[in-house]
Structure 1
């Protein structure tokens, strides 16, 4: 396409966008209130999210209640039960607006939310992404993918990878076991439920071996899914695995 045509196409797109903005003013993706920009949160919903910021446990990403000011500390859980992944990060705690966004994406067919949620994840996990060789989403089993029609983790991972210019490996990890729903299960039951659930296909091993992997999912509850997926990647020769999620269920805040 010539430069003139590109300019015309750009002008036409902006004109159409402006016209649609007059008919359908931009609104908050969470509550529907008016916003200045499209695909954004209003100030009230942004403030209503419990964003995770330092200080937090470097292993699980769980925020500490107070800053003790004595350097990097591990949470009691990370000391007693260290995860298979090296570091965990999340945008916000899983309640209020963050929980609503996850539910709208996952169960409400709001695939458009993957953009804003993924960009927020890219900002929160920038240090992890900078060191990663590639981005891998937590996969769904084929039967669950058939029922849901999309994998929310893959949508988020695509946005994260694009935001930071990292390769996206959609087939590096597969879910070979149709596990029962994790909802309502204890931490131990979740771990048992996910034993043997993930595998790196033989064809994907060269894309995993020796690489620093950024594993992406929508929510981390007990860390069982991240642990099971990370173990599979590490068994296949990954140099390290970090976990980035949109929301984190914090059972305890130190």
Structure 2
């Protein structure tokens, strides 16, 4: 019985991948036809725009994260405490990953961009978002061996048709020259949506959800890896991914996201 079942399992995954790719190509063709027929609108204010879906006024409302910030977690400071000063969060609860950087604060405009990319098929937003991420993560990308997007469970990937983290990683790769290795990490357990969960619930929700793909451990050993995702809230998902990569003997894991949640008035200690 087991001998007969094994080929079925081995064929199922490639078939799912091919079906997902085919659906994505058809969707892209339909989207291109729609874009030709209708003018692009700003994803935030819905005014007509040329190019990548964000008008100049909404772009100006984005809160880009600049120095001074925590050198470990990239959390912006309200004043410059001097070099190498860590945030309270970095000292009290350091994550498994070494450093984190984000392009913008997760405010109203950033939330609209992320939700449009993730849930409304606005893949035209990925180029601008990815370029801002590459700029914010320059020091992480220098010397990095590979980009690893946070994976979706295959059922969620089938419903969404694409992985937004993978789309952003591809843009960052073009900007930086660092290779994307999306096959190295997989989500082996479907998890609940993290929205609305507490910090402890988020950590519990993703515990054991990620594994290095079988046969790829040697490609990770001794490498400097940059994890790519859209949003950093508590960091539970990225921490779980980093732990899986570090168990496979990665030399270092850093994190690069488009937006991060920033509590009011973060201060160094």
**Fold similarity call, TM over 0.5:** yes
Assess if the C-alpha contact under 8 Å between 1:173 and 1:198 holds in 2.
yes
Q: Pairwise mapping of residues 49-198 of structure 1 onto structure 2 (< 5 A)?
A: 49-68=62-81, 70-198=82-210
Take 1:126 and 1:28, find their aligned partners in 2: how far apart are those partners?
28
TM-score normalised per structure 2: 0.81
Count residues in correspondence: 232
C-alpha root-mean-square deviation of aligned residues, in Å? 1.8
Runs of 4+ in 1 over 6 A off after TM superposition: 23-26
Q: Following TM superposition, by how much is the alpha carbon of 1:205 offset from its aligned partner in structure 2, in angstroms?
A: 1.2
Name the counterpart of 1:45.
58
Take 1:30 and 1:130, find their aligned partners in 2: how far apart are those partners?
33
Helix, strand or coil for the counterpart of 1:113?
Answer: helix
Assess if the C-alpha contact under 8 Å between 2:53 and 2:125 holds in 1.
no
Q: Gaps spanning 5+ residues in structure 1: where?
A: 1-19
Take 1:251 and 1:172, find their aligned partners in 2: how far apart are those partners?
33
* Residues 139-171 of structure 1: CA deviation (Å, up to 9, x unaligned): 001111112111100110111112111111010
Choose which of 41, 45, 60 in structure 2 pairs with 1:31: 45
Assess if the C-alpha contact under 8 Å between 1:27 and 1:39 holds in 2.
no
TM-score normalised per structure 1: 0.86
Take 1:114 and 1:168, find their aligned partners in 2: how far apart are those partners?
15
Name the counterpart of 1:3.
none
Q: Gaps spanning 5+ residues in structure 2: where?
A: 1-34
Q: Following TM superposition, by how much is the alpha carbon of 1:251 offset from its aligned partner in structure 2, in angstroms?
A: 3.0
